[in-house]
Amino acid sequence: MSDALAGLHIPEHVGIIMDGNGRWAKKRGLPRTIGHKYGAQNFRKVTRYISKCGVKVLTLYAFSTENWKRPPEEVSALMKLFKQNLIDLVTDFRDDDIKVRFIGDRSAFNKVLIDLINESEEVAKNREGMVLNIAMNYGSRDEILMAVRSLCRDVQQNGLDPESLTEKDIADRLYTAHQPDPDLIIRTGGEFRLSNFLLYQCAYSEFYSTETLWPDFNEEEFNKAVIEYNKRNRRFGGV
């Protein structure tokens, strides 16, 4: 951990909206796909550092349900990039004891990607370090709809009393079931919106936006976010 974080409260769960790959490439006169490549490389360095800082859960927004609307050539390039990164993930983070999980609807991907996703999770399932959630084909509204459908089935088929439902019943049916809600959500690239990311879970999250584009986001930038987080007074609706 950096000396800059010594004595500070480290958030237990951090979510990052990794934004700005395309703009990073455009500023350099490069194709957007090159920006995604550099962004993918940066994700490893940032993940390792955040793990060393003592964060328990890290959720990275890699590909949303809306990202399919991008130009076909960009989506195709992203799928190829995902494939290579998933191959690398089978051996990556082993020495870091990082447990890799994927959240989102993986059924939309081809069989090769699905098999690689499953293999990446399998080889990491017994690790005991930081949990890394990689959100791929993830959309929070879709996630909430999935949870509601599950509850409806329990009401219809198993006699669950609707009046007995609690917030926990919903939370237990989300992709992040049994994980703490995010304490801090970071968005790179200077935007101030959630973009359908962890809408249910972030009810009391602290938000931090930085102008830094994702390929340039580094240890120092993460430190700034945690320092700002420590200045917040988290009352959770109280006084």
pLDDT tens, residue by residue, 210-227 = 999 999 999 999 999 999
187 domain-assigned: yes
CA distance 37 to 123: 24
* Mean pLDDT confidence for 7-25: 96
Angle at 71 between CA 199 and CA 58, to 5 degrees: 35
Give the pLDDT of residue 237. Answer: 77
Catalytic annotation present for 97: no
Give the pLDDT of residue 236. Answer: 79
Q: What are the residues facing 138 on neighbouring strands?
A: 64
Q: Which domain holds residue 209?
A: 9-139+180-229
Check which CATH number belongs to the domain holding 18 and give it.
Answer: 3.40.1180.10
Residue with tokens 């809600």: 181
155 domain-assigned: no
Give the pLDDT of residue 1. Answer: 65
Give the pLDDT of residue 208. Answer: 98
CA distance 159 to 161: 6
Question: What is the H or E stretch that residue 99 is in?
Answer: strand 99-103
- The catalytic residue among 3, 19, 110, 133 is 19
159 domain-assigned: no
Of the two residues 4 and 227, the one the predictor is more confident about is 227
Instruction: Write the pLDDT tens digit of every residue in 76-101.
Output: 999 999 999 898 888 888 889 999 99
Give the pLDDT of residue 59. Answer: 98
82 domain-assigned: yes
Average pLDDT of every residue of the chain = 94
Number of domains forming the structure of the chain: 1
Catalytic annotation present for 181: no
CA distance 134 to 59: 6
Give the pLDDT of residue 25. Answer: 96
Does residue 2 surpass a pLDDT of 80? Answer: no
149 domain-assigned: no
Q: In the structure encoding, which two tokens stand for residue 171, read together?
A: 């939370």
* Mean pLDDT confidence for 2-25: 94
Does residue 234 surpass a pLDDT of 70? Answer: yes
- The pTM of this model reads 0.94
- The catalytic residue among 3, 21, 42, 67 is 67
130 domain-assigned: yes
| Reported confidence tier of residue 239, pLDDT bands at 50, 70, 90 | low
1 domain-assigned: no
Instruction: Write the pLDDT tens digit of every residue in 115-157.
Output: 999 999 999 999 999 999 999 999 999 999 999 999 999 999 9
Q: In the structure encoding, which two tokens stand for residue 219, read together?
A: 């240890």
Does residue 114 surpass a pLDDT of 90? Answer: yes
Instruction: Write the pLDDT tens digit of every residue in 28-49.
Output: 999 999 999 999 999 999 999 9
Give the pLDDT of residue 7. Answer: 92
95 domain-assigned: yes
